[in-house]
Structure 1
């Protein structure tokens, strides 16, 4: 268990820039627009061979018209309570603010060490900008530039020196955690669903679409298995995306699909299946991850007009390219059927990581070809020589054919369906690749022509 460092401060003082500088990756979205970060964002960092976790938080304001302000304050307070050290970031260019005074007063009673950082000091010539902040009675003050790295090494030296040593975890968490990306349209209830699964208010939740902007990771251990949930920004139609910031958020959401094992595709059951829902499902299909359709807000659906069976049938008709994805109707607000999500994730993940023996997959393909022979190609019959599984996540098979370009897509689909039927892999995507066989060998005469190694007695006679 690594020590935790929480980065706090008012909006637009450079908290996310400092976070990225410490973790040495562009994990947090950075923009000049205040209020970009809303959720807690965790990242791993190492300095002077000391590992620790860094938490980026939303901008803290004691009183603000922003509808997210109360949620953000709660997130900041929780992050501080969970941390072993706090870093309060101040803006050296804008000077001292009444909000800085208010937050400083709150931190005076903190049990953990607090480091006060004056950001946007780009060099020794700007050190005089610190004078205003001495009025807070704080010492020492660290001057640095999170963007350019000035002063950061000295600050990190003192920070890691004050951190407690890493403690052994009470329970060993599987390093191969199941990576679950929660994706969908804006305001479909993705963050609410994760909060319900975690049993705590981990994500900022609001009725305003576009609340989540970063792709936020959250670890959870349940019944001996570790899960890494990734809450992503809502993916809306390109024509609706006008803010540069939102475009970055959607790109991060799509990258989360590439890195996940299972995608929970969250739909708003009250609004029904929309074109954008199918487009989001298509993103998951193109990236080859396992998928589970989760129809949220089922408590708002009139059972007299729509049943789960009718909703599933409509969804299957619209998303024919994902026939293997299970469908579950839930309510994140009431908790209805939410507990069934974990067994579905486990089932999909088990199939997603399955490996089939070469003998088994060869037998399945051979019997399928014998039952339904492929079409002719230029007067010659297509021949399927050999099939093997080359990878998993998802299970991927390669079949060597005399004319791979001549295999019709319908026959391709037929072979995939036969593999699903014979192996029971009905909840995971499968990939079947056709390749040209190279290096032909005459197996009938191979043994006859093969030279036998000479015996030791023969070699001694030659000497």
Structure 2
């Protein structure tokens, strides 16, 4: 049943229609190898895998193909008996929600540990769930593996399938079993013309990234709470606004490198950086009580270096008393420290209450449109001639530079190429003058702009608008 918070908050956005995709959920105690099995079935490393129990805290989804059928595979947090208000209680609630949405449950036990009291309790729970259950005895590699897997018969869930996710043993048999239990295939609806928008939510720990994703989706998709660093992996979700489909990825909080001293946290940060590189627009979530700090600037600069557009979500705005002062502090820091993303849009929100969140995606859409925009050669060179007229080109080694043409061969991000005699020697201050002028003339705040200098003839000289 939906929580009161979920019911009250709701969502103005529609989830991607996955009604035609069968859902297969992987469940089991912590550290039985669920994420390794998830990665093996998907065919690539998506979920973080480590020997530390409880690495997976949020449901992770991926579309994959089993026996020619597209399915939605779900990796879940480890099942543990715990009070609902605790972290482990919230992790179990997330796994229970995954089972509610599943067509097939894959219940994983560990042959090396043997069947535990928790396995028996969760097996009883699964029998009451009225879902097809496939029992998987993992870590059953080698000669003794199949024999050890026989112990799982006592759970009363049918024949256990002996596998080793780590060594890729028994996976083909598991896929066959999953295919046998899938519901009848439903024809997929035709794709619309709208292109997918790829977003990533980044920020420091405890800024409210997961709460924001839950609010956008209108459901408790991510585990949230007062503990910093709850999200360890990059978790993707899909939904739609009025302009089309959106894939959004919530990421682990990114702390200063000097404070990253654990292998698991290093993998979390690597997963966040990978999500940034796959995104088109980054939503940088800030804690409005703290403002724009050094680590936030580092994250924004990383996004700019990767050529990604950025929108700032100033979260926990409802807790700020002097809002004018808070806005001014952020604006001043942006002006002095993020000049390469001048004019970046800042949206004040409260992810917990939903206040202001309706303004966030329109800001993202505007920024995405600028990031994709191409300027015709004619308009670009009229602007370029005006810029050269306003400020004479400098002398280099006693000789005046000669810049002749400008083109924009690509967007995503907007890229200007300037041709001329010794163009590559153009001083940095004049390059900044051109970039700022381009951003202002063609209304491109908040997006990275690339400037390339070519001291050769212009191959686009005959191109027209």
Q: TM-score, normalised by structure 1?
A: 0.90
CA gap of 1:305–1:398, structure 2 versus 1, over 3 A, is closer
- Asked if the contact 2:282/2:311 (under 8 Å) is kept, the reply is yes
**Mapped pair 1:291 → 2:349:** no
Question: Contact 1:173 / 1:221 at 8 angstroms: preserved in 2?
Answer: no
What is the aligned partner in structure 2 of residue 176 from structure 1?
195
Q: Give deviations 1:323-380, integer Å, cap 9, x for gaps.
A: 2311122111122211100110110011111111122212211221122221122333
Counterpart of 1:451 in structure 2 is none
Contact 2:27 2:34 in 1 (8 A): yes
Q: CA shift at 1:264, angstroms? A: 0.8
Aligned to 2:218: 199
Compared CA separation, residues 66 and 299, structure 1 to 2 (3 A): closer
Q: Distance in 2 between matches of 1:442 and 1:386?
A: 7
CA shift at 1:425, angstroms? Answer: 1.9
1:21 — aligned with what?
Answer: 40
Query: Corresponding residue for 1:399?
Result: 418
Residues 10-409 of structure 1 mapped to structure 2, 5 A cutoff: 10-63=29-82, 67-168=86-187, 172=191, 176-303=195-322, 306-409=325-428
Q: Which has the larger radius of gyration?
A: 1
Give, in whole Å, the separation in 2 of the partners of 1:231 and 1:440. Answer: 43
Distance 1:273 1:376 in 2: 39
Of 286-295 and 416-425, deviating more is: 416-425
Decide whether the 8 Å contact of 1:173 with 1:226 is kept in 2. Answer: no
Whether the aligned pair in 2 keeps the contact of 1:183 and 1:253 (CA below 8 Å) is yes
Greater length-normalized contact order (CA 8 Å, ≥ 6 residues apart): 2
SS of 1:245's partner is helix
SS in 1 for 2:105: strand
Structure 1: where are the runs of 5+ without partners?
444-463
Would you say the 8 A contact 1:324–1:429 is kept in 2?
no
Task: Give the CA deviation at 1:247.
Answer: 0.5
The CA deviation at 1:426 is: 2.5
1:9 and 2:23 are equivalent in the alignment: no
Shift of 1:192: 0.6
Distance in 1, matches of 2:455 and 2:325, equals 50
Q: What 5-or-longer segments of structure 2 have no aligned partner?
A: 1-19
- Count of matched residue positions in the alignment of Structure 1 and Structure 2: 443
Change (3 A) 1:320 1:379: closer
C-alpha deviations, 1:175-195, integer Å up to 9, x for none?
Answer: 732111110111111101111
Q: State the shift of 1:310 in Å.
A: 4.8
2:433 to 407, 410, 414: 414
CA contact (8 A) 1:116 1:140 kept: yes
| Runs ≥4 residues deviating over 4 A | 168-175, 438-443
- 1:65, CA displacement in angstroms? 11
Q: How many angstroms apart in 1 are the aligned matches of 2:334 and 2:44? A: 39
* CA 22–304 in structure 1, closer or farther in 2 if over 3 Å, else same: closer
C-alpha RMSD of the superposition: 2.3
Report the TM-score when normalising by structure 2: 0.90
